[in-house]
Amino acid sequence: MKKFDILALGELNVDLLLNRIAGFPEVGKEIFAQDMTLTLGSSTAIFAANAATLGARVSFVGMIGKDSFGEVVRSTLEQRHVDTSNLIEVDNAATGLTAILNYDNDRANVTYPGAMSLMGVKDIRPEIIREAKHVHVSSIFLQETLHKEIFEIVRMVKDCGATLSMDVQFDPEEKWEFDYRKILPLVDVFMPNEQELMAITRKATVEEAVDVILPYANVTVVKMGTRGSLVISGGKRFHMPAMLNKSVVDAIGAGDSFDAGFISAYVRGKDLAECQRLGNLAGAVNTTAAGGTGAFSSIEAVKEAAQRYFGQTIEL
Ligand SMILES: Nc1ncnc2c1ncn2[C@@H]1O[C@H](COP(=O)(O)OP(=O)(O)OP(=O)(O)O)[C@@H](O)[C@H]1O
Ligand SMILES: [Mg+2]
C-alpha cells in the first residue's frame, strides 16, 4: 500500500490578477485597476487540488522561494488537502508569479518563473517517488531545468515503479522541443491538447500528429475543448464528445481538471472509457464556476454540479 495515489510534479506560482483596468498600460505612465486578487496559480496545482477533491491522496513536488508568496502557495494547497511535505524551498530564487491584466474577454500575462525554473532531476528524491502509485508531470516547457532533464526524470519515475502521466502544456517560447521518440515509450498516459500535440510533432492536423506518435506512445489522450477528447490506445481511437456547458463562466483550468478527473479514475484501476468520461465531466464541471478550482470546493459540490448541469453521476 503506497502512501500517495498521485504525486504531482510541476510548477508552482501565484497569480496576481488585475481587473477593470483603465485602458492598456503605457511605458512611463500609471493607471488604476479597480479590482485585484492574489491566488494560487499554476496548472499543476489546479490538477493536484482537483484530484484531491475527487478523493485521491495527492502530494506535490515543486519549488518555491522562502518568501510570503511561497507561503500562499503552501497554505492554499493545504486547504485543498494536497500534501505539501515534499515542496522544496530554495533561497536562491523567489516564488514564481504571473501578473494577469484582464480586459473584458482578453488578457495580457507576464510570468516571472523564479524557483520553478530550477527544479531538476537531482532535486527529485527516489524515496518520494517510491511512496506514490502514480506520478503526473505537467507544464514541462515552463520549467527550464525540468525541461532539459525530462528524459532522466521520466526514467527515474519508471525505475521507481510508478505509473506516469504527462501534460506538456504551452511552450511560451514556442520552440516545442520534445523528444517524443525517446520519452513517450516511458509515459503511460500522454495528455496534450490538440494544439500542443500538433506543435511537438510539427504536423498541421491532429490525425497526422497522432499517426506520428503512435509507434512510441502507450495511451494518448488529446483534449479538444468544446469538441471533447480523443483517447488512442492499442492503435484504436475513441472520440467522446464534450458534455457541453451552454453557460460557461470561464474555461480557465478546464484541461487541468480534465487531467484530474481522468487520472483519479486511472489510479483506481477504472477502464479507459470511464477515465475518459470522468475527464470530460471534470473539464465540463470546471466551466460552471470561476477559475480552475472554483467548482471543486468539495466532492459534494462536484457531484451536485455533475448531476445538475450534465445529468452525470460520479462513483469513485
Ligand atoms: N465549454 C465546455 N463545455 C464542456 N466541457 C468543456 C468545455 N471546454 C472544455 N471542456 C472539457 O474540458 C476538456 C479540457 O479542455 P481543453 O481542451 O480546453 O484543455 P486545455 O486546452 O488543455 O486547457 P487548459 O488551458 O486548461 O490547459 C475538454 O476535453 C472537454 O472535455
Ligand atoms: Mg492544458
Q: What is the pLDDT of residues 45-65, one digit of tens each?
A: 999 999 999 999 999 999 999
Question: What's the pLDDT band for 128 if we cut at 50, 70, 90?
Answer: very high
Q: Is 228 in the pocket of ligand 1 (CB under 6 A)?
A: yes
CA of 111 to the centre of ligand 2 (A): 17
**Separation of CA 270 from chain center:** 21
**What one-character DSSP code corresponds to residue 193?**
B
C-alpha separations of 30 from 8, 37, 103 in Å: 39, 19, 16
pLDDT beyond 90 at 104: no
**Cβ proximity of 76 and 39 under 8 Å:** yes
**Cβ proximity of 61 and 7 under 8 Å:** yes
pLDDT beyond 90 at 105: no
pLDDT beyond 80 at 39: yes
pLDDT of 23: 87
**Cβ proximity of 4 and 132 under 8 Å:** yes
**Cβ proximity of 103 and 131 under 8 Å:** no
Residues in the chain, overall count: 316
Q: What is the pTM of this model?
A: 0.96
C-alpha separations of 231 from 119, 126, 171, 312 in Å: 31, 30, 23, 20
**What cell does 35 get?**
479590482
**Cβ proximity of 133 and 263 under 8 Å:** no
CA of 215 to the centre of ligand 1 (A): 26
Report the distance separating Cα 261 and Cα 215, nearest Å: 26
Residues 6+ apart with CB under 8 A from 104: none
* Long-range Cβ contacts of 271-279 (<8 Å, 24+ apart): 272/219, 272/231, 272/233, 272/238, 273/238, 275/231, 276/221, 276/229, 276/231, 276/238, 276/240, 277/240, 277/312, 278/54, 278/314, 279/221, 279/229
Domains of the chain, first to last? 4-12+42-95+114-310 (3.40.1190.20)
pLDDT of 107: 83
Q: Is 251 in the pocket of ligand 1 (CB under 6 A)?
A: yes
pLDDT of 246: 87
- Residues 244-277: tens digit of each pLDDT: 998 899 898 999 999 999 999 999 999 999 999 9
Which of the listed residues 244, 258, 312 should we mutate to test ligand 1's pocket, taking the one with most ligand atoms within 8 A of CB?
258
Question: What's the pLDDT band for 88 if we cut at 50, 70, 90?
Answer: very high
- Ligand 1 atom 18 nearest Cα: 225
**Mean pLDDT confidence for 121-135:** 97
- Dihedral sign (CA 198, 241, 248, 308): negative
**Mean pLDDT confidence for 123-137:** 98
The mean pLDDT of the chain is: 96
Tell me which ligand sits closest to the C-alpha of residue 168. 2
pLDDT of 276: 98
**Mean pLDDT confidence for 229-258:** 95
- Residues 160-210: tens digit of each pLDDT: 999 999 999 999 999 999 999 999 999 999 999 999 999 999 999 999 999
CA of 249 to the centre of ligand 1 (A): 13
**Mean pLDDT confidence for 101-120:** 90
Q: Is 254 in the pocket of ligand 1 (CB under 6 A)?
A: yes
**Cβ proximity of 101 and 21 under 8 Å:** yes
